[in-house]
């Protein structure tokens, strides 16, 4: 029996470190483009900034060898809306070529040619036609990261040229030009202006927000979590002053093998995520036992990174906070996730954010007791609910508290 390492796939990139044929690579191979060193295509738009070797990192443009409406190749908002299958998404990701180059993260303030083109693409809200010249043919391989959709087909960039002007929203153009505004303030303003979260992530990653002296490139993985964290904290500034909900509410959603249950309890704000990575799923492929991950925060928030649940924790919290802000209430929220065997390839935190958001668009189920709501949760979960109940810090603390309503 091989010992499971949650980062093995991320390090391996399809090289077979586990001693078995790569299940992910075998699924995506059929979509890999034929080798070319010169092509034109419509970037979705999408860019990628790596983190290995920080502060000198790989970064670049992702584009297919085709023109037209290519947004579906990039946006988790569209994937979830259309309920695309994993195979559909791998099809899109396999057709994207990652034309990359190296740069220092503080070079975002310079006018380097490749960097400038990448930044212009990051600002666009529509596909951008770009001509690419590569030093070498694309290399067969994949970048596996639980925070991001698969990135494959890397090749060193020799030259690039935009074949059209990117279409940039007025609010984006204004805030990118504002070099006296902090990045966090710009992020909040973009969000209030209904700019998609995926687009805000790209703009931050390209080093296009914040005070001029502080601007720098942000690895895409870090940018994803940063946006969810900043925006949920922004919403919590108001939520913590709202009245508590008056009854137990339950929401649920499911997408490509990710099953979610959201329990909202009458109490001041606190938040907990417990994830069960089931045997055969992407982050628990070899073990026969369930892998449980957990992170928690109380009313005053957390000061350290949620290193167990990682990026999904902040995406879930973002969705919860959007709902609480919408109903102008606060609550204690327990998030339960079963990552099932059907989820065999990572599609990034974006699909988890959208699945979480969609749960709160549905009508809530209402209950009078913890026992009743857990019984309902059990009817949709594959694992025994007792497994989650015993681990939950939030449920233990809620049980200990005596509420005024007991004597009313």
pLDDT per residue over 198-209, tens digit each?
999 999 999 999
Residue of higher predicted confidence among 21 and 267 = 267
- pLDDT the model gives residue 23: 65
pLDDT one-digit tens code per residue, 332-363:
999 999 999 999 888 999 999 999 999 999 99
- pLDDT the model gives residue 286: 81
- pLDDT the model gives residue 408: 45
Band of pLDDT at residue 12, cut at 50, 70 and 90:
low
Q: What percent of the chain has pLDDT over 70?
A: 89
* Pairwise CA distance, residues 76 & 149, whole Å: 9
- pLDDT the model gives residue 273: 98
CA distances from 129 to 12, 142, 306 (A): 32, 24, 38
Q: Of the candidates 34, 19, 45, which has an alpha carbon nearest to the alpha carbon of residue 165?
A: 45
- For residue 224, what are the β-bridge partners? none
Is it the case that residue 369 has pLDDT exceeding 90?
yes
Report the chain's mean pLDDT, rounded to a whole number.
91
Is it the case that residue 140 has pLDDT exceeding 80?
no
For 23-88, give the DSSP string.
HHHHHHGGGPPPP-SEEEEEE-SEEEE--TTTTEEEEEEEE-SS-S--GGGT-HHHHHHTT--HHH
* Pairwise CA distance, residues 116 & 193, whole Å: 25
Other Cβ atoms less than 10 A from the Cβ of 145: the count is: 22
Q: Of the candidates 235, 209, 201, 236, which has an alpha carbon nearest to the alpha carbon of residue 350?
A: 201
Angle between helices 220-239 and 311-327 (to 10 degrees): 30
- pLDDT the model gives residue 143: 77
The residues, any chain, with a CB within 8 Å of residue 213's CB and separated by 6 or more, are none
Residue of higher predicted confidence among 110 and 367 = 367
CB environment 175-209: b (16+ within 10 A), e (fewer): bbebeebebeebbbbbbeeebbbbbbbbbbbbbbb
- pLDDT the model gives residue 4: 30
Where do runs of H (alpha helix) occur along 178-219?
183-192, 197-205
Give me the mean pLDDT over the 289-295 stretch.
96
Q: What percent of the chain has pLDDT over 90?
A: 79
Band of pLDDT at residue 6, cut at 50, 70 and 90:
very low
- pLDDT the model gives residue 202: 98
160 sits in which H/E element: strand 154-162
Contact yes or no for 157/60 (Cβ under 8 A) = yes
Q: Among 16-30, 43-57, 370-384, 385-399, where is mean pLDDT lowest?
A: 16-30
pLDDT one-digit tens code per residue, 212-238:
999 999 999 999 999 999 999 999 999
- pLDDT the model gives residue 284: 87
Band of pLDDT at residue 282, cut at 50, 70 and 90:
confident
Contact yes or no for 374/385 (Cβ under 8 A) = yes
CA distances from 29 to 73, 94, 241 (A): 16, 7, 52
Is it the case that residue 2 has pLDDT exceeding 60?
no
CA distances from 35 to 29, 32, 38, 155 (A): 13, 9, 9, 10
pLDDT one-digit tens code per residue, 111-130:
688 999 999 999 999 999 99
**Cα dihedral 109→113→119→120 (10° resolution):** 130
Provide the 3-class DSSP secondary structure of residue 335. Answer: strand
* Pairwise CA distance, residues 217 & 219, whole Å: 7
Band of pLDDT at residue 171, cut at 50, 70 and 90:
very high
User: Checking DSSP bridges between strand 46-49 and strand 56-63, what pairing results, if any?
Assistant: antiparallel
Is it the case that residue 10 has pLDDT exceeding 60?
no
Is it the case that residue 178 has pLDDT exceeding 60?
yes
Is it the case that residue 395 has pLDDT exceeding 60?
yes
- pLDDT the model gives residue 68: 95
* Pairwise CA distance, residues 56 & 39, whole Å: 27
- pLDDT the model gives residue 36: 79
* Pairwise CA distance, residues 127 & 71, whole Å: 7
Give me the mean pLDDT over the 260-277 stretch.
98
- For residue 161, what are the β-bridge partners? 131
Is it the case that residue 94 has pLDDT exceeding 80?
yes
- pLDDT the model gives residue 8: 53
Is it the case that residue 97 has pLDDT exceeding 60?
yes
The residues, any chain, with a CB within 8 Å of residue 170's CB and separated by 6 or more, are none
- pLDDT the model gives residue 5: 39
- pLDDT the model gives residue 115: 95
* Pairwise CA distance, residues 89 & 149, whole Å: 9
**Per-range mean pLDDT, top range of 35-44, 262-271, 340-349:** 262-271
């Amino acid at each position: 029996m091989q010992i499971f390492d949650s980062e093995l796939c991320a390090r391996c990139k399809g090289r077979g470190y586990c001693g078995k044929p790569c299940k992910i690579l075998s699924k995506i191979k059929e979509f890999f483009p034929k080798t070319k060193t010169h092509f034109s295509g419509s970037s979705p738009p999408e860019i990628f900034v790596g983190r290995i070797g920080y502060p000198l990192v790989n970064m670049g443009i992702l584009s297919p060898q085709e023109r037209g409406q290519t947004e579906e190749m990039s946006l988790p908002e569209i994937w979830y809306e259309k309920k695309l299958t994993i195979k559909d998404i791998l099809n899109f990701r396999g057709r994207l070529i990652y034309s990359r180059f190296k740069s220092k993260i503080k070079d975002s303030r310079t006018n380097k040619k490749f960097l400038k083109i990448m930044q212009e693409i990051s600002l666009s809200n529509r596909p951008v036609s770009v001509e690419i010249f590569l030093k070498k043919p694309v290399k067969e391989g994949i970048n596996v990261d639980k925070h991001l959709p698969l990135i494959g087909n890397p090749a060193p960039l020799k030259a690039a040229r935009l074949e059209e002007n990117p279409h940039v929203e007025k609010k984006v153009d204004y805030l990118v030009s504002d070099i006296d505004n902090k990045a966090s303030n710009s992020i909040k303003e973009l969000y209030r202006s209904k700019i998609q979260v995926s687009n805000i992530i790209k703009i931050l990653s390209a080093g296009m927000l914040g005070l001029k002296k502080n601007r720098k490139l942000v690895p895409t993985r870090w940018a994803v979590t940063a946006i969810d964290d900043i925006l949920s904290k922004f919403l919590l500034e108001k939520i913590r002053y709202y009245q508590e909900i008056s009854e137990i509410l339950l929401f649920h959603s499911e997408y490509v093998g990710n099953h979610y249950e959201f329990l909202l309890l009458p109490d001041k704000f606190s938040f907990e995520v417990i994830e069960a990575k089931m045997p055969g799923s992407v982050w628990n492929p070899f073990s026969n036992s369930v892998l449980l991950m957990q992170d928690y925060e109380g009313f005053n928030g957390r000061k350290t990174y949620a290193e167990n649940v990682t990026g999904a924790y902040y995406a879930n919290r973002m969705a919860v906070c959007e709902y609480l802000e919408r109903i102008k209430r606060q609550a204690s929220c327990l998030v339960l996730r079963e990552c099932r065997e059907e989820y065999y390839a990572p599609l990034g935190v974006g699909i988890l954010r959208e699945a979480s958001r969609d749960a709160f668009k549905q009508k809530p189920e209402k209950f009078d007791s913890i026992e009743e709501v857990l019984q309902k949760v059990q009817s949709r979960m594959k694992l025994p609910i007792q497994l989650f109940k015993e681990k939950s810090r939030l449920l233990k603390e809620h049980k200990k508290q005596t509420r005024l309503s007991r004597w009313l």
